[in-house]
A and B are shown apart, each in its own frame.
Chain A
Amino acid sequence: MERVYSKGFRPLAIATVLTTVAAFALIFFYAPLDADQGFIQKIFYVHVPMAIVALCGFVAGGVMAIRHLRTGERSWDMRSYVAIHLSIILGTGVLITGAIWAKASWGHWWVWDEPVLVSFLIVFLLYCVYYPLRFSIEDPERQARYSSVFAIAGGAFVPINFTAVRMAEAVTHPRVLSQTGGNLPGEMRLTFLVSLLAMALLFVTLWKLELTSKHASAQLKRLRSRLELRAEEHPAAQPVTR
Chain B
Amino acid sequence: MIRTAGAILRKDLTIELRTKESVPAMTLFTVTVYVLFHFGLDRDSLDGELASGVLWVTLLLASVIGVSRLFAAEREQGGIDALLLAPVDRTALFVAKAAALFLYLLVLELVAVPAFGLLLLGPDLLAALPELLAILLLADVGLAAVGALVSALAAETRARELIVPLLLLPLLVPLLIGAASATAPLLRAGAAPEDLGRHLVLLGGYDLVFLLIALAVFDFLLED
Bound Cα distance A148, B209 (Å): 17
Q: Is the CB of B133 closer than 8 A to any CB of chain A?
A: no
Stretch at the interface among A99-107, A122-130, A180-188: A122-130
Report B117 CB to chain A, min CB distance, Å.
25
A69 touches B205 (CB 8 A): no
A146 touches B221 (CB 8 A): yes
Chain B residue total in the interface (Cβ 8 A): 31
Given known pairs A149-B221, A164-B177, A171-B181, the reply for A133 and B202 (CB within 8 Å) is no
Stretch at the interface among A41-49, A84-92, A155-163: A155-163
Interface residues of B in 159-190 (CB under 8 A from A): 159, 162-163, 166-167, 170-171, 173-174, 177-178, 181
Give the secondary structure class of A's interface.
helix
Determine the residue in chain B with the shortest Cβ distance to A160. B174
Report A-chain residues with C-beta under 8 Å of the C-beta of B39: none
Contact with B along A140-162 (1 / 0, CB 8 A): 00100110111011001100110
Given known pairs A122-B170, A125-B170, A148-B220, the reply for A136 and B157 (CB within 8 Å) is yes
Report B-chain residues with C-beta under 8 Å of the C-beta of A239: none
Report B-chain residues with C-beta under 8 Å of the C-beta of A123: 170
Contact with A along B8-32 (1 / 0, CB 8 A): 0000000000000000000000000
State which of A137, A160, A165 has its C-beta within 8 Å of the C-beta of B206: A160
Report B-chain residues with C-beta under 8 Å of the C-beta of A11: none
Most chain B Cβ neighbours within 10 Å, of A123, A129, A137: A129
Given known pairs A133-B153, A153-B217, A165-B177, the reply for A160 and B223 (CB within 8 Å) is no
State which of B156, B177, B217 has its C-beta within 8 Å of the C-beta of A142: B156
Q: List 24 A-B contacts (CB under 8 A).
A: A69-B217, A122-B170, A125-B166, A129-B163, A132-B166, A133-B154, A136-B159, A137-B156, A137-B157, A142-B156, A142-B223, A145-B223, A146-B157, A150-B153, A150-B167, A152-B213, A157-B174, A160-B206, A163-B174, A164-B173, A164-B174, A164-B202, A165-B173, A171-B195
Given contacts A133-B157, A136-B158, 5 further A-B contacts (CB under 8 A): A129-B166, A137-B157, A142-B156, A149-B149, A160-B206
Q: Which 5 A-B pairs have the closest CB atoms?
A: A164-B174, A126-B170, A136-B157, A164-B177, A168-B177
Interface, chain B (partner A; CB < 8 A): 149, 153-154, 156-159, 162-163, 166-167, 170-171, 173-174, 177-178, 181, 195, 198, 202, 205-206, 209-210, 213, 216-217, 220-221, 223
Interface, chain A (partner B; CB < 8 A): 69, 122-123, 125-126, 128-129, 132-133, 136-137, 142, 145-146, 148-150, 152-153, 156-157, 160-161, 163-165, 167-168, 171
